[in-house]
Structure 1
Amino acid sequence: MPLPLYLLAMAVFAMGTSEFMLAGLLPDLASDLDVTVGTAGTLTSAFAIGMTVGAPLMAVLARDRPARSSLLGFVLAFLTAHAVGAATSSFPILVATRVVAALANAGFLAVALTTAAALVPPDKKGRALAVLLSGTTVATIAGVPGGSVLGTLLGWRATFWAVAALCLPAAIGVLTGIPARPVETDEPGGPTLRAELGQLKRPRLLMVMLLGALVNAATFASLTFLAPVVTGTAGLGELWISAALVLFGVGSFAGVTVAGRLSDRRPGTVLALGGPALLVGWPALAVLADKPVALLALVFVQGALSFALGSTLITRVLYEAAGAPTMAGSYATAALNIGAAAGPLVAATTLGTPAGDLGPLWASGLLVALALLVAFFAGLDGGCDQHGPAAS
């Protein structure tokens, strides 16, 4: 894989750390800014909404610009938002910086997905995206726990400053590693914006985007509310929350790595084998959550399966949206973030039921079941194991 892919992954690591880091910072942040923890939690919603809206919007604004200048601009905007957020004592300003950071993150990811696919031969898109998305999985393994520890030792502002600092080498990497010339999809004679947006009328593309949203919704439904399962149902100490998150992150890295070698030529195999396993895994986690060893083992497995399916579906979105070369990445980004925003909302409705803290795990199982039903009736099975775009 070309070096620029790893430089893009570095930026994705910084942005992924920012996206997930608030879970361990909210109490300190709320106390410092004199708001309730619930109010501070709206920072997460602001980021998710900014990501969902920002993906297509930023892709439209960047579509006529060279990839390098767009990516560099998004990284610098992300850096600035975190520097301002770290320095402010106003909660509304902090909310505004999270929205700006989300817009920059969404724009970067939308352009980076398209750029990554353009840097490799057509039949290597899956492996390229696996490298790119490894930045997110490494963020869950190292960045988020590290940010939580830094916040505990030095305060939440130190974590924001650390993310801003991570953007500096990422910006240098983009500047030095991404070709100055426009990528092939930016050259004159490509499809118009109307034609690219018209791809969203294709049922097959919408179906794959829906599948990606459902799988990601299932992932975030349980991941968001994993802490009370670890400390309550399993009866483990608070330090085990970080351990569980690291295990989930290690699993997700393994899942992305393996799926990256299969998602180009055998996506149907990943869906046919990984989908039912993921469906069984969430209820199994709910049933065995009171057994710490089983809980931690299944957290690893579910992380691997969730990201294996998720990354495969992202690859399929890019293949299905081949007629929208500058917007395809934004379609994948928007689908994933709709899932990331919807999953916790669905899971939250189960907390007041008899299932209690285990409700989100059952909700994840139902979301995966729905995804498999959609895939079955859409004919997205092992028969789509072909070469390149034909596989879609």
Structure 2
Amino acid sequence: MPLALLALAISAFGIGTTEFVMMGLLPNVANDLHTSIPTTGYLVSAYALGVVIGAPLLAALTTRMPRKTVLISLMGLFTIGNTFSALAPSYGWLFAGRVLAGLPHGAFFGVGAVVAAGMVDRERRARAVSMMMVGLTVANIIGVPIGTLVGQSLGWRATFLAVGAIGLAAMAGIAVLVPRLPATQSAGLRHELSAFRSGQVWLALSTTVFGFAAVFAVYSYITPLLTDVAGFGDSSVTLVLALFGVGATIGNLLGGRLADRALRTALIGGLAALTAVLGLFTVAAHAEWSAAVMVVLLGVVAFTTASPLMMMVMEKAPHAPSLASSANQAAFNLANAGGAWLGGLVIARGFGYTAPAVAGALLAVSGLAIAVTAGLLERRAPESSRIVAAGVAHAEQDSVGVA
């Protein structure tokens, strides 16, 4: 694999750290800014809001720029957002900083996925994308725990300054390691937006929303599930959550390999496995050892679908892979918000902390049904349409090569 993927992985590590570390810093931020925990929790949503707004917007605005320049610029905006957050004098300014830091998230992964796929042979594209995404999963193992520890010891502002430093390192890595790449051979924004007229693109995006909402319905409430149902002590939860990151890293690498062999099969198989794991979670959550095993398996099956989902959207929008891939990142964050909302709803109705796993299983079944439907519709499409689409996709692959 090209060494340039290391620079993209470092960038993903920084993005993943800042996205999730706020959950561990909520008490510190609340005490320092004199706000309640629920109010401070909106800072998590602020970042997601930035992702949803920035993903399609920045991808569209940068569509004719050289991709290396786009990547460096997006990480520059990421660095500014985190530095701004560290220096925020009040809650309102911190909220704005979190939105600013989230703006480049989706566009970076969207463009980064296309760049990663364009630096390798066609049969290794999904693995290249998964290597970039390793940074995101490793952030849950190393970045978030260390960032939380730094925030608790030196103050939450130190954590965001550290993430800003990671952003600077990522910019330097991209500048040195990523080769010069041409801008997209685009016929204009209107032409790229026409990709969203495709039913297959919308089916792929819908699969992302339902598939990952299933994950976040459970993961958003994993701490009370582990303490109140499985019986873990508060001090053990961080270690168990790190196991989720280990499983996610394994699943991410596995998903990339499987997607290169058979993309649609990998996606459907991953969603079926996710459904099964979530269904078993309701039973296995009542003992410490089995709950820990299920946390690892949840990470594996959840991220086995990540690379296939990204590649599927890119494949179904060959004229606008960066824009479609960025939109898919917005879909991931909609899944985050929607899954957390549904999981909280069933808990609030008195069904207990295992109920989100049931809700998640139903969401996974929905995502699986959409993926299967998309596959059936694709098979029924006229043969000539599939040949044309394949030719366009191959041309797009050539257009992202080294200049």
Same fold (TM over 0.5): yes
Matched-pair contact (CA < 8 Å) for 1:4–1:174: yes
Deviations 1:200-223 (A, max 9, x none): 111111101111111111112211
Specify the alignment match of 2:320 in structure 1: 324
Specify the alignment match of 2:256 in structure 1: 260
Specify the alignment match of 2:280 in structure 1: 284
Specify the alignment match of 1:22 in structure 2: 22
Alpha-carbon separation, structure 1, partners of 2:50 and 2:201: 23
Deviations 1:166-221 (A, max 9, x none): 112111001112223x43x524xx33211211111111111011111111111122
Q: Please show how residues 1-392 of structure 1 align to structure 2 within 5 Å.
A: 1-180=1-180, 182-183=181-182, 185-187=183-185, 190-379=186-375
Alpha-carbon separation, structure 2, partners of 1:118 and 1:277: 30
Q: 1:343 deviation in Å?
A: 1.3
Gaps of 5+ in 2: 381-385, 394-403
Q: Alignment identity in percent?
A: 34
Alignment partner of 2:261: what SS?
A: coil
Alpha-carbon separation, structure 2, partners of 1:274 and 1:69: 35
Q: 1:107 deviation in Å?
A: 2.6
Q: 1:341 deviation in Å?
A: 2.1
Alpha-carbon separation, structure 1, partners of 2:367 and 2:12: 27
Matched-pair contact (CA < 8 Å) for 1:215–1:367: yes
Q: 1:150 deviation in Å?
A: 1.6
Q: 1:375 deviation in Å?
A: 2.2
Q: 1:75 deviation in Å?
A: 1.1
Alpha-carbon separation, structure 1, partners of 2:359 and 2:159: 32
Alpha-carbon separation, structure 1, partners of 2:228 and 2:282: 13
* Paired amino acid for 1:112: G
Cα 1:297–1:382 shift into 2, 3 Å: farther
Compute the RMSD of aligned alpha carbons: 2.2
Q: 1:354 deviation in Å?
A: 3.0
Q: Give the count of matched residue pairs.
A: 386
Deviations 1:69-88 (A, max 9, x none): 22111112211221121122
Matched-pair contact (CA < 8 Å) for 2:204–2:309: yes
Alpha-carbon separation, structure 1, partners of 2:226 and 2:301: 20
Farther off after superposition, 309-318 or 36-45 = 309-318
* Paired amino acid for 1:283: G
Specify the alignment match of 2:397 in structure 1: none
Alpha-carbon separation, structure 2, partners of 1:275 and 1:222: 15
Q: 1:380 deviation in Å?
A: 5.6
Alpha-carbon separation, structure 1, partners of 2:228 and 2:377: 39
Cα 1:381–1:365 shift into 2, 3 Å: farther
* Paired amino acid for 1:32: D
Farther off after superposition, 135-144 or 262-271 = 262-271
Farther off after superposition, 375-384 or 270-279 = 375-384
Matched-pair contact (CA < 8 Å) for 1:221–1:344: yes
* Paired amino acid for 1:261: R
Give runs of ≥4 in structure 1 deviating > 4 Å: 380-384, 389-392
Deviations 1:260-302 (A, max 9, x none): 1120231233234332221121121122212010000011011
Matched-pair contact (CA < 8 Å) for 2:315–2:321: no
Per the normalisation by structure 1, the TM-score is 0.93
Matched-pair contact (CA < 8 Å) for 2:137–2:248: yes
Matched-pair contact (CA < 8 Å) for 2:313–2:321: no
Gaps of 5+ in 1: none
Alpha-carbon separation, structure 2, partners of 1:115 and 1:303: 26
Matched-pair contact (CA < 8 Å) for 1:269–1:381: no
Q: 1:229 deviation in Å?
A: 0.7
* Paired amino acid for 2:184: D
